[in-house]
Amino acid sequence: MTTLVTEIRTDAVGVAPTGDPRLSVHNLHVGFTRGGAFHEVVKDVSFDLHAGQCIAIVGESGSGKSVTARSIVGLTGRNATVESATISLDGEDLTTVGEKRWREIRGRRIGFILQDALVSLDPLRPVGKEIEEALKLHGWGDRSSRKRKVIELLDSVGVPHPELRARQRPDELSGGLRQRALIASALALDPEIIIADEPTTALDVTVQAQVLSLLDDTKSRGVSIILISHDLSVVAHLADHILVMKGGVVVESGPAQQVLTRPEHEYTKSLIGAVPSEHTRGRRLGPELDIVATAHPTRFAEEFADYTGPVLEARNLVKRFRSPDGSVSTAVNDVSFELQPGTTLGIVGESGSGKSTTARIALALTGADEGSVTLLGREWSSIRESQRRPLRKRISVVYQDPLSSFDPRWNTERILLDAVTDEEPSTLAEKKARVRELLAQVGLTDAVLPRFPLQLSGGQRQRVAIARALAPSPSVIVLDEAVSALDVSIQAQILDLLVELQKQIGLSYLFISHDLGVISHISDTVLVMKDGAVVERGTADDVFNRPQHPYTQQLVGSLPTLDQEIP
Amino acid sequence: MTLTSSNKAAAAADASASAARPASRHRILARRIGEKLVGALIVLFGAATTAFLAQAALPGDRATVILNTRAGQAIQRTPEELAQINEQYGLLNPIVVQYFDYMRALLTGNLGMSYQQYRPVSAIILEQIGPTLVLTLTAIALSWLIMVVWIILTAGRGPRLSSFGAIVDTTTAGLPHYWLAILLLLVFSLSLGWFPVISGSSPAGLLLPALTLAIPLAGFMSQATRTEFEKSLEQPFVLSARMRGMGDLGVRLHHVLRHSVLPAVTLSGWALGATISGAVVVETVFSRAGIGRVLVTAVSSQDLPIVTGVVVLIAALYVVANLLVDVVYVLIDPRLKNS
C-alpha cells in the first residue's frame, strides 16, 4: 500500500505552520463489521494540522472522508474498528482516552459542523437552546450569562436580530441563518479545531459564499479547520492543504495551490475537470462517452416534422398561492420564455425564487393563474388534461431525487417497460428491445435491469430516470435540479450524457437549478429568477460575463470557481 | 467584511417578512380551537343520544323494570303502581318529548335519579369517580415511567438487546388484566405480604391495581415508541449533539425521546378513556371502589340512568383526553402549530 505521509510545507496560500502540530493523525485505519464481514473503509490516512491552518479532505461519497473526520472525535459508530498509530491532540494520545475524556474534548477542543442545519440542529428546539446546550454541557457560566453568550455568538456569526433568532426553530429560519446558528453552536466554546463536513452542500450559492467567508474569518482568528467536501471548487479558496481521497485511500496530498494547479493523480485531475463552469461550456467534463442515440421513429415525430418554431413557449405566466392564514403570495410573476429546438434554456434562482413552480406550469402539472404555455406551437396550458394527453409524450421530466419518483418495488426493467408501453401496439419482445436501446443510450448495461432503485448508485438512478424520460421520444425534457444531489464527479458524467444526447437526438432542455456553475456550463440561454420574477435574461455568455442586474452580479460574484485559484 | 454586511441586509429583509406572521397565527389558532370545541360538542351530543336510544329500545315495559329494580324483585305490577311511575318519569309522553326532556336535564347537569338507590346519578358518579381517576392517572404515569426507562435502556443498543426489548414489549402488551391482577396479588400481597389484599383507598393499596393497568399499557406504548426512537437515534442532530460533548444518555433523554413519544401520547389519550371503562376487572379483583364497578352493577340491574350517566361521562373524558393530546402534541412538536 502506498502511503502519502503529509509534509505540510510553507506555501503561497497558507499560513506557515510553526512548531508542533495541533492535531496529528498517522496511519489511520477504520473498518466496519457488517454481517460478520469486515470492510476497511479508511486505509492508512495521515496528516498534521497546525494552528490557523485549513486542511481539506476531498472525495466522492463513499471515499471515507466523513469516516476519517468522525474517527478524530471518536464517533465512528457502533460496529467500527479504528486502528491508528497516532491520533494526538496537542500531544494527548486520543486513541486510548475514555468516553468521559472524549466528552470534554468534543465541543470544547474540537467543534463539528455537519451539512444542512435543518436536520443537524434538533428540529423541535429553538436554535438558542442548541447553542446554549454546548455551553451547559461544559459547565460554562450560569443560566443568565449563558443566555447573553448565545446572543453574542449569534451576533458574531452575522445573524441579525439575535435575540429574536435565538427563540426560533431551524424550520423558521432561512437556510443561511440556520447554518450560521449551527456554526455558532460549534464555535461556542472557542475550540481550537473545527471540523466542517460538507458545510455548504444543499445551500444556495450566495449562502454558500457567506458560510465559507465565515469559516475564513474563523480561520484567520487562529482556529484550525478540517473541511470536507466532494467539490474541489468549494474548498479551493479556504484550504491550505488538500487531501484527495478515493476508496478509503489518500491518492494525492499537497499544498492547495499545487494540488489545484499541478495535480499529479489522474483522479484529482478528473475531479478538477468535473467542476462545471462558464468556461467549460461546450466541452466535456469527463472522458469521452461511448453511446449512440437515435431519435426513435414515432408518428408524432412525423406529425411535427415541419414545425420549426420554439418547442416550448411561455407567455406572461403568473401563479399565486394562498397560505393558510389567508395571505396571497405570488410565486411566479410575469414569466415569459422561448425554448428553441435543440437548445438548453437554463432557469437559475435560489430556493423560493419560483423556478420549480415555473417548471410545473411548463409541464402542465400546475395551472397558471394568468398567461399561457404552448408546446410545439399548440395550446398546452389552457386545454383540458384529456386533450393534453396525446401531447404529453412530447415533454418529459427528470427530478432531483429519482428514488422518490420510482416505485421501490419495481425493478429497472419494469420501470422502463412501464414507460415505453403506450407506443404503437407492439410485442413484449419489441418493448424489451426498446428498453435495452434506452439503457444503451444513457450508458448503462443490461446488468442493471433486474436491480431495484435502492440497489442502484446515485448516478445509475439518475441515468435510469433519464432513460425513462427518453422513452416516449420527447422533444423537450424538463430537468428540475436533476444533478443537484449528485457528487461533482457523478454530476459531470450526467451533464456530459445530457449534452451528448442533445447533440445526437436534438433534444431541447428546460434546465432548472440553483447551481450557477451547472447552469453556466450547460445553457445556451439563461433566465435569472428572484422572488418569482425574471430579473435578467440573455445568452449564457452575456449573463455570466456581463451581468446587468445587481442580483445577477451578486450571484456570479458568489460562485466558487477553481479559475480564481488557477492563474 | 463586505459580505457580512450584505448578509445582514438580506437577513434583515427576511426578518421584516416574518414579523407579519404572529397576528394571522393567532387567528389560525383561534379558528382551530373553535373547530375542536364544535367537534367535542358533536361527540358528546352523539354519545348522549345513543345512550337515550339504547334505553328506549330495551325490551319490556320500562315502568315495570323501574319498579322491579327498586324492589329487587321480578314480578308483575298492577296498573296503579305503573301509572305512578309513568307519571313520575314521563314514560307515556311521545318519545321525542322524552328525548327533549332528557337532553334539557342533561344540559343543566341533571343526570336523573338512580332507580335502585333513590339518589341523584350525579352524586353517585361524583362519589365514585375520584378513586377511578386516581387509579387511571397513576396507571398512566406508571406506564410512562416503565416505558421511558425500558426504551432508554434497550432501544438502539445493538441487535440483541433491542430485539429482547421488543419481545418484552409484545409480551407485556398482550397480558390480560385479570390474569396479571391475580398474579400480582398472589405474589406481592399473599406470598410476600408487601401490599394489602384489599386495597381500599390507601396509597399502598393503589400500587398493585395501578401496575396491573400500567404494565400492558407500557408494553403497547413501548412498541409504538421503539421504532421512532431508533429512527431518531440515526438523525444528524443526534450526531451534532454528540459532537458538542453530550453523552449517550443525555442525547437519549434530551433529544431522542422527545422525537419518539408522539405515538405514546396518542395511546395515553386513548388509555385515559379506556382504563376508566376497563377498570372494572381491576376494581373487582382488588376490591376497590370506582366507577367501573358502579357501571357493571348498574348494567346488570338495569339501572339505566346510571348507565347513561357513566356513558356520557366516559364520552366526555374521551373528548377531554383528545383535546389534551392535541395540546401536548403541539407542546412536543411546535412545528405542528403551523400545519
pLDDT tens figures, B147-176: 999 999 998 888 888 889 999 999 999 888
* Residues of chain A falling short of pLDDT 70: 1-18, 295-302, 324-326, 421-425, 563-567
Establish if B49 touches chain A: CB-CB under 8 angstroms: no
Q: How far apart are CA A533 and CA A330, in angstroms?
A: 9
Residue A302's pLDDT is what? 67
Closest CA to B240 of A179, A182, A173: A182
**CB within 8 Å: B334 and A124:** yes
Count CA atoms closer than 13 A to A81's CA, side-chain side: 10
User: Which of A27-41, A547-561, B183-197, B320-334 is the least confident region?
Assistant: B183-197
Please give the residue that has the higher pLDDT: either B253 or A279. B253
Strand partners, B113: B120
Average pLDDT over chain B, rounded to whole? 81
Establish if B249 touches chain A: CB-CB under 8 angstroms: no
ipTM: 0.76
By three-state DSSP, how is residue A294 classified?
A: coil
Amino acid at A322: R
Average pLDDT over chain A, rounded to whole? 86
Residue B64's pLDDT is what? 77
CATH architecture of B122-338: Orthogonal Bundle (1.10)
Give the residue ranges of DSSP H helices in A252-392.
Answer: 256-261, 266-273, 299-303, 355-362, 385-392
Residue B218's pLDDT is what? 94
Locate A5 and state its grid cell: 505521509
Locate A464 and state its grid cell: 435510469
Please give the residue that has the higher pLDDT: either B5 or A186. A186
Of the candidates A121, A217, A554, the beta carbon closest to that of B240 is on A121
Residue B200's pLDDT is what? 64
Averaged over B91-114, what is the pLDDT? 80
For A308-335, how does the pLDDT look when each residue is reduced to its tens digit (9 = 90+)?
A: 889 999 999 999 988 766 678 888 999 9
HEC string of chain B equals CHHHHHHHHHHHHHHHHHHCHHHHHHHHHHHHHHHHHHHHHHHHHHHHHHHHHHHHHCCCCHHHHHHHHHHCCCCCCCHHHHHHHHHHHCCCCCHHHHHHHHHHHHHCCCCCECCCCCCEHHHHHHHHHHHHHHHHHHHHHHHHHHHHHHHHHHCCCHHHHHHHHHHHHHHHHCCCHHHHHHHHHHHHHHHCCCCCCCCCCCHHHHHHHHHHHHHHHHHHHHHHHHHHHHHHHCCHHHHHHHHCCCCHHHHHHHHHHHHHCHHHHHHHHHHHHHHHHHCHHHHHHCCCCCHHHHHHHHHHCCCHHHHHHHHHHHHHHHHHHHHHHHHHHHHHCHHHHHC
For A357-384, how does the pLDDT look when each residue is reduced to its tens digit (9 = 90+)?
A: 999 999 999 888 999 999 988 888 888 8
pLDDT surpassing 90 at residue B142: yes
User: Which of A329-343, A442-456, B8-22, B229-243 is the least confident region?
Assistant: B8-22
User: Which of A2-6, A388-392, B90-94, B192-196 is the least confident region?
Assistant: A2-6
Q: How far apart are CA A528 and CA A550, in angstroms?
A: 11
Residue A13's pLDDT is what? 41
Chain A residue numbers with beta carbons less than 8 Å from the beta carbon of B27 are: 325-326
- B284 by Cβ neighbours in 10 Å (0-12 / 13-18 / 19+) ranks as middle
Chain A residue numbers with beta carbons less than 8 Å from the beta carbon of B241 are: 122, 133
Interface size between A and B, measured as CB pairs under 8 A: 115
Chain A residue numbers with beta carbons less than 8 Å from the beta carbon of B24 are: 325-327
Of the candidates B239, B242, B244, the beta carbon closest to that of A185 is on B244
For A188-234, how does the pLDDT look when each residue is reduced to its tens digit (9 = 90+)?
A: 998 999 999 988 887 888 888 888 988 999 999 999 999 999 888 88
Ranges of each domain in chain A = 406-473
Q: How far apart are CA A111 and CA A509, in angstroms?
A: 43
Write the Ramachandran bin of A198: left for phi over 0, alpha for psi from -120 to 50, otherwise beta. left
Contact A156, A184 (CB under 8 A): yes
Residue A300's pLDDT is what? 63
pLDDT surpassing 80 at residue B92: no
Residue B104's pLDDT is what? 85
Residue A535's pLDDT is what? 94
pLDDT surpassing 70 at residue B338: no
Q: What part of B 170-229 touches A (C-beta under 8 Å)? A: none
